[in-house]
Amino acid sequence: MLIGDLKEIIDYSIESVLPENAVKSNLKKLNIKEEKLFLLSIGKAAWRMANAAKEELKGKIKNGIVITKYYHSQGNIEDIEIYEAGHPIPDENSIRATEKALELIENLNDEYGILFLISGGGSALFELPEERITLEDLQDITDQLLRSGADITEINAIRKRLSKVKGGKLAELAYPKKIYALVLSDVLGDRLDSIASGPTYKDEITTEKVLEIMKRYDIKMNENLKKALEKETPKNISNAQHIIIGSVKVACDSAINKAKELGYNTLLLTTTLNCEAKEAGKFFANIALEELKSDNPIKKPCAIIAGGETVVSVKGNGLGGRNQELAYSFALEVEGLNNIVFASIGTDGTDGPTDAAGGIVDGNTILSLRKKVIDPLVFLENNDTYNGLKEANALLKLGPTGTNVNDLMILLVGEKL
Ligand SMILES: Nc1ncnc2c1ncn2[C@@H]1O[C@H](COP(=O)(O)OP(=O)(O)OP(=O)(O)O)[C@@H](O)[C@H]1O
Ligand SMILES: O=C(O)[C@H](O)CO
Ligand SMILES: [Mg+2]
């Protein structure tokens, strides 16, 4: 049954990018030479990644620090200090925790290596401003950037220059200590210099590009900040190794494997989808209609999968998220059709400011609203797809998953024999 298979594929895919599994299955790929390790874990998945590493490496990890978002830690971890701080805007706890991390790193003797666990949200949580830049400056710039429409690579290009620990600067501060980084990517294309603003990775963005970004999004800043932007960032880091241990590509590949196992012909469309959500929904519906009519692009029964992070220009005052909007837009195009089911979910389990991960829809979704004498278009026009999907019993709720590797879209067409 299509919807059962779809839920099984989603669960399997999320499982494959959970922090614990990602850390434990990749630790052995790091060629750690040192007998003693200091653990630094930053981001929304920091506690779970640190706990997994400590379980796996036990006494090898002598001490360390976790810096995660408020309410994202789950208790003590032996030998590790736990800090919670502000996200998406850095706060005084971000600064306090980062100062503590640098102090601990500075006091490490030569026997130590550094195990660095990175997950999304790290930029706000692991932060220490450059000289003559205040926390208030950083908070204002972060707020301007988040509201500007700039993408995360552009946002982090700026943040690196205003920070003492981003854009490879942590690796320079820790030099010559060796840094072994496991990275849970929440950036499309898995750019290591953008994920959590790449504290231990060379900054591939030039001053000229940074000034261009400032101009394009009309970001207002004082003279101290402007001066900081012009200071070049490290372009050559020799003491850090990085492994991407989870990403939307890993999630998509897992979904493909499970779909194959369930008997579907499979196609991975892209892992960097980032157009307007409702247009993406329509595009998936066009593919579904083509599949029903002509078995193109692949023979039915088929599973067509994509990953990415679409965008929504929110104009209405409703409730929703990009995945809910994408799924709802798909549903509007396939009303009344059989043998089609589609889901779009945020892998962190929270799509927009809602408790839903996204939506799971088919040919009956819109029909069910019409039976309730509801005009289905209103929910899309008002960016209120949470309530539209809720009325149609098509919300997909996973709860916070503990991972954060962008969004996953899965289309199944044609019943298996
Ligand atoms: N009513 C709405 N309908 C559709 N999309 C919305 C609505 N309200 C907010 N959004 C979209 O949700 C986005 C934020 O969603 P979400 O919190 O899942 O972001 P995120 O990128 O996953 O952040 P994080 O990494 O912190 O989880 C906003 O950028 C906005 O485009
Ligand atoms: O913290 C950040 O910079 C974003 O989550 C991208 O990794
Ligand atoms: Mg999210």
Specify the pLDDT at position 416.
76
What percentage of the chain carries pLDDT values higher than 90? 95
pLDDT tens across 257-285, in order?
A: 999 999 999 999 999 999 999 999 999 99
Please provide the CATH number assigned to the domain covering 2-12+249-413.
3.40.1480.10
Q: Please tell me if the CB atom of residue 334 comes closer than 6 angstroms to any atom of ligand 2.
A: no
Please, where are the H alpha helices in 1-91? Answer: 2-16, 19-26, 46-57
Is the ipTM, as predicted for this complex, more than 0.85? yes
Of 328, 398, 339, which is closest to residue 363 (Cα–Cα)?
A: 339
Q: Is the peptide bond before 199 cis (omega within 30 degrees of 0)?
A: no
Specify the pLDDT at position 415.
81
The alpha carbon of residue 65 and the mean position of all alpha carbons in its chain are separated, in whole angstroms, by 22
Q: Which two tokens stand for residue 246?
A: 């989870």
Spatial separation of the C-alpha atoms in residues 113 and 38, rounded to whole Å: 6
Q: Which residues, other chains included, contact 153 with Cβ-Cβ below 8 Å and sequence gap of 6+?
A: 187, 191, 194, 205
Residue burial 122-144, b: 16+ Cβ < 10 Å; e: rest: bbbbbbbbbeebebebbbbbbeb
pLDDT reading at 40 higher than 90: yes
Q: Which two tokens stand for residue 170?
A: 């942590």
* 369 Cα–ligand 1 center, Å: 25
Q: Give the bridge partners for 380, in sequence order.
A: none
Spatial separation of the C-alpha atoms in residues 179 and 170, rounded to whole Å: 10
Query: Are 324 and 409 in contact, with CB atoms under 8 Å apart?
Result: no
Question: Do the domains 2-12+249-413 and 19-246 sit in the same CATH topology, yes or no?
Answer: no
pLDDT tens across 207-221, in order?
A: 999 999 999 999 999
Among 142, 322, 355, name the best residue to mutate to test ligand 1's pocket (greatest count of ligand atoms within 8 A of Cβ).
Answer: 322
- What residue owns the CA closest to ligand 2's atom 2? 196
Q: Which of ligand 2's atoms lies nearest the C-alpha of 152?
A: 6
Residues with CB under 6 A from ligand 1: 88, 120, 186, 312, 314, 318-322, 325, 346, 348, 350-353, 383, 404
pLDDT tens across 326-352, in order?
A: 999 999 999 999 999 999 999 999 999
DSSP secondary structure, 200-260, as one string: TS-----HHHHHHHHHHTT----HHHHHHHHSPPP----SEEEEEEE-HHHHHHHHHHHHH
Q: Which of the following CATH numbers is that of domain 19-246: 2.40.70.10, 3.40.50.150, 3.90.1170.40, 3.40.50.10180?
A: 3.40.50.10180
In the chain, where the domains are located: 2-12+249-413, 19-246
pLDDT tens across 217-252, in order?
A: 999 999 999 999 999 999 999 999 999 999 999 999
Mean pLDDT of 10-21: 96
